[in-house]
Amino acid sequence: MSQKTSYLTPKINLMWIRGRGKIQFDRPHTYTNLGLRGSGKSALLEALAIRFDKIIDLFGSRDSEGLAWCRSPFKDSILFIIGDSVEISSEWPYKKVSELTLSDLNDYKVILSVSAFYSNLDEEFDALNHILYNVLYRRIQWSKVWFLMVREASNFIYSRIKISRNQSVAKNDFIYLLREARHMGYAVAVDTIRWTSIDKEIRDVSDYIFIKRVGVQGLPRDLRFIYGYVNPISMMNPKPHQFVLLSNRGPIAIGFFSKPPWHKEEKENLFRELGIQIKYGEVPQVGIGIQLSDWDHAEIVKTYVETGKVSETERLCGRARGTIYRHVKKHNLSIKRKGFCERCRRVKGAYTEQVILTRGVAKGSLAHLPSAPTSSKPKPRIGAKNDVNFTLARNVKPETE
Ligand SMILES: [Zn+2]
Render pLDDT for 127-140 as a digit per residue (tens, 0 to 9).
998 999 889 999 99
Spacing, Cα 339 to ligand 1 middle (Å):
11
Residues 6+ away with beta carbon under 8 Å from 276: 67, 70, 88, 89, 90, 92, 270
Are β-strands 252-257 and 12-18 bridged in parallel, bridged antiparallel, or unpaired?
antiparallel
pLDDT computed for residue 196 by the predictor: 57
Name residues with Cβ closer than 5 Å to ligand 1, which is an ion. 301, 331, 341, 343-344
Residue of higher predicted confidence among 174 and 81: 81
Spacing, Cα 297 to ligand 1 middle (Å):
6
SS3 sequence, 303-369?
HHHHHCCHHHHHHHHCCCHHHHHHHHHHHHHHHHHHCCCHHHHHCCCCCCCCCCCCCCCCHHHHHCC
Q: Which of 170-184, 237-251, 345-359 has the lowest mean pLDDT?
A: 345-359
pLDDT computed for residue 295 by the predictor: 86
Spacing, Cα 331 to ligand 1 middle (Å):
4
Spacing, Cα 341 to ligand 1 middle (Å):
5
Residue of higher predicted confidence among 339 and 66: 66
Alpha helices (H) along 50-103? none
Q: How far is Cα 331 from Cα 343, in angstroms, rounded to an integer?
A: 8
Spacing, Cα 351 to ligand 1 middle (Å):
7
pLDDT exceeds 70 at position 108: yes
Over the chain, what is the mean pLDDT? Answer: 83
Residue of higher predicted confidence among 91 and 401: 91
Spacing, Cα 296 to ligand 1 middle (Å):
10
What domains lie within the chain, and their CATH numbers? 12-280 (3.40.50.300), 294-366 (no CATH)
Spacing, Cα 301 to ligand 1 middle (Å):
6
Spacing, Cα 338 to ligand 1 middle (Å):
12
Q: Which of 161-165, 186-190, 277-281 has the lowest mean pLDDT?
A: 161-165
Instruction: State whether the Cα torsion 167-170-171-172 is positive or negative.
Output: positive
Render pLDDT for 332-389 as a digit per residue (tens, 0 to 9).
988 887 788 888 988 888 899 888 877 654 343 344 444 444 334 444 444 433 332 3
Q: What is the mean pLDDT of residues 283-291?
A: 70
Q: Report how far Cα 123 is from the mean position of its chain's Cα atoms.
A: 8
- Percent of the chain surpassing pLDDT 90: 49
Spacing, Cα 129 to ligand 1 middle (Å):
25
pLDDT exceeds 70 at position 25: yes
| Reported confidence tier of residue 180, pLDDT bands at 50, 70, 90 | very high
Spacing, Cα 361 to ligand 1 middle (Å):
17
Spacing, Cα 157 to ligand 1 middle (Å):
31
pLDDT computed for residue 389 by the predictor: 34
Spacing, Cα 48 to ligand 1 middle (Å):
47
Among the listed residues 195, 241, 256, the one whose alpha carbon sits nearest the alpha carbon of residue 220: 195
pLDDT exceeds 70 at position 268: yes
Residue of higher predicted confidence among 305 and 291: 305
Spacing, Cα 302 to ligand 1 middle (Å):
9
Spacing, Cα 294 to ligand 1 middle (Å):
8
Residue of higher predicted confidence among 396 and 258: 258
pLDDT exceeds 90 at position 37: no
Spacing, Cα 82 to ligand 1 middle (Å):
25
Q: For Cα atoms 167, 169, 170, give the angle at the middle one, nearest 5 degrees.
A: 65
